[in-house]
Amino acid sequence: MGKLRLRQIPDQLKVIELIIQKRGPESGPLTQGSAYARARAEARRARATSPPPRDSRAHRRSLLPRSPAPRPRPSLEGLPEARTDAAMSELVPEPRPKPAVPMKPVSINSNLLGYIGIDTIIEQMRKKTMKTGFDFNIMVVGQSGLGKSTLVNTLFKSQVSRKASSWNREEKIPKTVEIKAIGHVIEEGGVKMKLTVIDTPGFGDQINNENCWEPIEKYINEQYEKFLKEEVNIARKKRIPDTRVHCCLYFISPTGHSLRPLDLEFMKHLSKVVNIIPVIAKADTMTLEEKSEFKQRVRKELEVNGIEFYPQKEFDEDLEDKTENDKIRQESMPFAVVGSDKEYQVNGKRVLGRKTPWGIIEVENLNHCEFALLRDFVIRTHLQDLKEVTHNIHYETYRAKRLNDNGGLPPGEGLLGTVLPPVPATPCPTAE
């Protein structure tokens, strides 16, 4: 933490600074432990004896000619003293109340109009996120050859999929479903994202595909289990590494008829465990009418079979969300996409596309395919929501079930001598 910021933060955080200076910066939790308690007591004593520092400053400033209110300096706790000072100079300086504990709103005289500044919390969160970065884990499922790796590369405009690493395209189809996770750190506009792409080669490629979704379900539950174990730990990490699958892109083959039985089975089993976004792959084989007919049929089939894909109806928080998501659910999804990592010249611009003897298909042209819609949906508008639904709903469901299975006790070794039961393969209830 930079020293500049700490100077503006009231007592509690000053306390932390004291501790850091004494102990040196550590990753351990600073808000716990006896050292902290001692430091707090010290600060309290100091406060009691000396006058509140802010009062004196305020008093001093009221004698000076009024200066234009400076911008609220962004600080971790959001108490822009500058503004209040400017306002204060108008009135008789009243004895200000004791400096508030951070996060409590400063009690300003209600005669004052205007701006408190709590909306700057967004700016602060943004800055914090930029510093710490965030994780996003996306899984791609579908038969081989549907363009999964290419699409992920196109989505994130970098070579992030299995295709890019040393894997040889000429490899044979694996006999069972494998799970391959590849992580990359990509940066844009100062924001770092640790992106993990989880590929599932071998899904749906065999003659007998019974239960080929089981390894995938097992993997997803294992990630929840890992997170649960970390949460339940006594000495928790400050930031638990999040390997849970936030989003699963399911690739539907563009047959033009209907969903395949395997698609139905997979989505039935997994829509309760992870956010599934169905996507129609290689959509350049369908004309506009065929596309819209196929999408309607797919939507109807999903509805009839009770499969809730993301964004799920039951998790719409307010009316605004509902209308926005309804529009997406009923009109755009499933997105019919085309992926490409090759560039061609069209009208003087270089675009990503596919060049055929009868024309060039532009990936980012909305008249050609819905890739731009998918990208905006997953990355630009609903990325955070995907993570939140995974954390607040899917993970909590898993956790509740695990605790119930364990008799209401958190799973863990050495906790009252309970031994951790093994991760069940298909723990979550499917909609009947």
Q: 276-280 and 335-336 as β-strands: parallel, antiparallel, unpaired? A: parallel
Which residues, numbered 30-89, are part of the site for other proteins (CB under 8 A)? none
Q: Is 161 in the site for other proteins (CB under 8 A)?
A: no
Chosen residue from 17, 55, 77, 205 binding other proteins by CB under 8 A? 205
Q: Is 260 in the site for other proteins (CB under 8 A)?
A: yes
Chosen residue from 56, 255, 296, 345 binding other proteins by CB under 8 A? 255
For residue 378, the 8-state DSSP code is I
Q: Is 349 in the site for other proteins (CB under 8 A)?
A: no
Q: Is 431 in the site for other proteins (CB under 8 A)?
A: no
C-beta separation of 284 from 361 below 8 A:
yes
Q: 343-346 and 276-280 as β-strands: parallel, antiparallel, unpaired? A: unpaired
Minimum Å gap between C-beta 180 and other proteins is 17
Instruction: With contacts defined by CB under 8 A, name the span among 40-48, 85-93, 191-199, 208-216 that binds other proteins.
Output: 208-216
C-beta separation of 276 from 298 below 8 A:
no
Q: Max CA-CA distance within the chain? A: 86
Chosen residue from 83, 244, 282, 295 binding other proteins by CB under 8 A? 282
Chosen residue from 359, 381, 429, 430 binding other proteins by CB under 8 A? 359
Half-sphere exposure of 343 (CA within 13 A, CB side): 7
Chosen residue from 257, 331, 345, 396 binding other proteins by CB under 8 A? 257
CA distance 77 to 81: 11
Q: Is 305 in the site for other proteins (CB under 8 A)?
A: yes
Q: How far is CA 121 from the centre of its chain?
A: 18
Which residues, numbered 128-147, are part of the site for other proteins (CB under 8 A)? 143-147
CA distance 41 to 45: 6
Q: Print the binding letters for residues 93-122 with other proteins: x by CB under 8 A, - otherwise.
A: ------------------------------
Q: Is 347 in the site for other proteins (CB under 8 A)?
A: no
Q: Is 209 in the site for other proteins (CB under 8 A)?
A: yes
Q: Which CB sits closer to other proteins, 60 or 300?
A: 300
Count of residues touching other proteins (by CB under 8 A): 47
Please list, in sequence order, all residues whose beta carbon lies within 8 angstroms of the beta carbon of residue 231, skipping any fewer than 6 positions away. Answer: 240
CA distance 310 to 367: 24
Q: Is 363 in the site for other proteins (CB under 8 A)?
A: no
Element (H, E) at 332: none
C-beta separation of 52 from 99 below 8 A:
yes
Element (H, E) at 205: none
Residues in contact with other proteins by the rule CB under 8 A: 143-147, 169, 173, 205-210, 253-265, 281-282, 284-285, 287-288, 297, 301, 304-305, 354-362, 367-368
